[in-house]
Amino acid sequence: MTALRLHRELTRIWASEPGWKGWFTTVNHNDLGRMFIVASIVFFVIGGVLAMLIRAQLASPRSAFMAPETYAQVFTMHGTIMMFLFAIPLIEGVAVYLLPKMLGTRDLAFPRLTAYGFWCYVLGGSLLILSLLLGIAPDSGWFMYPPLSSTLGSPGINSDFWLLGITFVEISAISAAVEITVTILRYRAPGMSLDRMPVYAWYILVVAVMILTGFPPMILGSILLELERAFGMPFFQVENGGDSLLWQHLFWLFGHPEVYIIFLPAAAVISTILPVMARTTLLGYGWVVAAAVSLGVLSFGIWVHHMFTTGIPHMGLAFFSAASTLVAVPTAVQIFAWIGTLWKGRPELHLPMLWILAFFATFVIGGLTGVMVAVVPFDWQVHDTHFVVAHLHYVLVGGFVFPMLAALYYWLPHVTGRRRFFKLGETAFWLIMVGFHITFLAVHWAGLLGQRRRTHTYDEGQGWEIINLIASIGGFVTAIGFALVILDIVVNAAVAVRGSRDPWQAGTLEWAMPTPPAAYNFASLPEIRSRDPLRDDPALPVRIARGEGWLGDASRGRRESLTVATATGEPAQVVVLPGNTGLPLLMAVTTGGIFVGMLLKLYWLVPLAALGVATLAARWAWGLGATRDEGPVEGRPGLVLALASESVDPPGWWGSLFLLLADATLLGSLLFGYAFLWTVAPNWPPPTWAEPGLLAPSLALVGAALSVTGIQLADLRLRQERGPWLGFLLGLAGSVALALAAGMVLLGTDPTAHAYNATLWVLGGFVVLHAGLAGLMTLYLTCRYAAGFVTGRRIGEARIVRLWTDYAAGTGLLALAAAWLPGAVA
């Protein structure tokens, strides 16, 4: 087959639907990556306009520009949009677009999940913007501390928009994290062992695992606060055994890792672009990988440094002060690796490089003020002042936005296939750099002079007037700079001249394809023998296009890609990916029904929408697999591989594993919250402990045992090509028994009486939900077996259900033990 004919065949197989319909049915990572990026930039513009409103308000003392209520909504939404609707989705968008190309594969592991995540993000984000337009936006600050955000401080619907809207949006982050993790670990080009992986992929792997373990505490906090607001379950009300500090712990358990979730992708971009700009390779690849992993984990041990003023004993403060200073070490390792790379290379000052230099200057200042606020006595002085506002902007704008602008200009020729012609970007660079530093150096100063953050105005005569005016002028200069960047991008994308394939002479695989890229990325998947395959083999793109690599034959007429062994990169399976469908959009809209039902107190809509989601999920999964055994298929001439659907560890098993990691973190956070209330909250112990008796624990034990052994038996019988019916039945009975036992925790317990009772309800609800889910999955597996999709060879689905069932049984027993143990001991 000639290269052109192969291209036409693959385009027919992989292309999105033409016209407007394609926007709603595409599952291709090229489309969805671009859609994520554009949507996040739209939200950035909205957040930027809000920033300008804030600076207009603070430009003069006693300003009547905004009422206090409006100002509260504006600064809350500015922070919320920038953190949740701009930064994280932009990271996801860039990763969704780039990762498969850098890894040498054709798409992400779960294309429909990418689309589902995108639609959840857009719908959830739109919900929040709608609240802003209606004047009922969240107004308690972007970290929503109760009691200000509870019904006591915010009786309206404002806080509900935040709690439900952000949780809806975070479905997208969790979805992206699951598929990024599985893609990096399994979907790489053959031969790409861990040490040959692009450094960008290492960073994004760390970030994805951080999202899976960092977001659940905040999702749990949002659920608990919404339960308190909607149903009076008093998790954060002191008089009923709650404690508002619990929210701060849960929020910052997420919030501090979030800073690194935002910084590490920027560091990934720098580690990728800087060596190319310096015409060399990254100095200390192994050190940089070690630093990224260290930073990722260490960032989870410093959440309390946001709570230094909450009355924590000295030892607790010292633990977190020590841990906070520790993170400077891996950060410095990266900075020195980058400086070393510049030193050994021959740097060229293109626009992406300018932005990287801006990053160095700005982020180092932000890092130094970070060390200052890690020192407890200094933090006590500047807490809640504009000094902290300036510090976080230096870190987030310097450490994230500037590198992302470098990324934008670096990969623009890849996305558009055009060479930048109009040079507005350089002017924009200087406007932003000068404007930003004027603004936030001044804001540091105002903070040191005592100006409080989140206060809509200030009196004359405190020495802050001229500082604020200067900061506001700088802010508007910055905004003009960002507007010029957008104009520059649009103009260059639309009318600039066609460019060459690899304009920067980079060595990574994303440049080994024509630009803009075809929907299938690679006509055949390359065999990788080094970390910079394109630099080492300039003829690689031609051989890829000729179909001389893996899967270079499109005759099977379906979307095929490869999985590899995690560590060595040995080819393992051929995966068949799903085609275009509107199902993800429909599923996202239906999921939205759950959140809208809660928001508008239309509680009848919640179970209805949940039922819709379950039905669509079943429909979603039903379309996978086959009813006949196909056997091994040819991966390249003379070499055959098993199909993923005929393997014991299909991608779905890996996806489930990492999704359950996030779920286990949520349960861990709940148990942490329970222990926190038990040890620290006033008004404990509760008036009465729940007494388990004998029946409920026995039922739970029998249920867990049945569900685990039942599905194991079914698995065994399937492998022996014998009927698994008894196993399915036992598994189903076990799940029902476990759910019933958990239901007995709820009986006779008033969840509004005390935080302990409310916690019992959440623990019981967790078990009912998971046991129910395991039961539904067993029922689904039974139907799949009856329809001929599951056999001894096609055992993957049974393995996935077994994973979920084992997990439901294990966590169910743990949660119920936590619920019953205090009562049993008492």
Partner 1 sequence: MTDILRISGPLTLWLTAFSAVYGLQGLICSPRWAEAGLDLAAGRMALALAASLVLGLQVAFLLALRTTRFASCSGFVRTLSLGLSTVALVASAWTLIPVATTSACL
Residues that bind partner 1 (CB under 8 A): 185, 193-195, 209, 286, 289-290, 293-294, 297-298, 300-301, 304, 313-316, 318-319, 322-323, 326, 330, 566-568, 672, 675-676, 678-680
Whole-number minimum distance, CB 487 to partner 1, in Å? 44
Provide the token pair at 275. 């060596």
C-beta of 193 vs 280, nearer to partner 1: 193
Please state the length of the chain: 826
Cα 229 to chain centroid distance, Å, stands at: 26
Whole-number minimum distance, CB 175 to partner 1, in Å? 21
C-beta of 314 vs 628, nearer to partner 1: 314
* Strand locations in 511-663 (E): 560-564, 571-576, 633-636, 639-643
Distances (CA, A) of 459 to 248, 384, 441, 525, 595: 31, 18, 21, 66, 42
Q: What is the DSSP track for 30-99?
A: HHHHHHHHHHHHHHHHHHHHHHHHHHHHHTSTT--SS-HHHHHHHHHHHHHIIIIIIIHHHHHHHHHHHH
Are 395 and 495 within 8 A, CB to CB? no
C-beta of 70 vs 294, nearer to partner 1: 294
C-beta of 290 vs 606, nearer to partner 1: 290
Nearest to 91 by CA among 203, 253, 251, 220: 203
Whole-number minimum distance, CB 684 to partner 1, in Å? 8
The CA distance from 794 to 401, in Å, is 47
C-beta of 251 vs 482, nearer to partner 1: 251
Whole-number minimum distance, CB 323 to partner 1, in Å? 5
C-beta of 42 vs 293, nearer to partner 1: 293
C-beta of 555 vs 679, nearer to partner 1: 679
Three-state DSSP state, 137: coil
Whole-number minimum distance, CB 2 to partner 1, in Å? 39
The CA distance from 396 to 8, in Å, is 44
The CA distance from 453 to 5, in Å, is 62
Whole-number minimum distance, CB 306 to partner 1, in Å? 15
Strand pairing report for 639-643 and 571-576: parallel
C-beta of 37 vs 185, nearer to partner 1: 185
Three-state DSSP state, 572: strand
Whole-number minimum distance, CB 252 to partner 1, in Å? 13
Whole-number minimum distance, CB 109 to partner 1, in Å? 15
Whole-number minimum distance, CB 78 to partner 1, in Å? 32
Q: Which residues contact 353 (CB under 8 A, 6 or more apart)?
A: 273, 274, 277, 347, 406
C-beta of 165 vs 569, nearer to partner 1: 569
The CA distance from 650 to 794, in Å, is 10
C-beta of 197 vs 718, nearer to partner 1: 197
- Give φ, ψ of 228 to 5 degrees: -65, -45
Whole-number minimum distance, CB 676 to partner 1, in Å? 7
Whole-number minimum distance, CB 577 to partner 1, in Å? 23
The CA distance from 789 to 625, in Å, is 7
The CA distance from 526 to 542, in Å, is 11
C-beta of 368 vs 675, nearer to partner 1: 675
Alpha helix segments (H runs only) across 537-650: 540-545, 583-599, 605-622
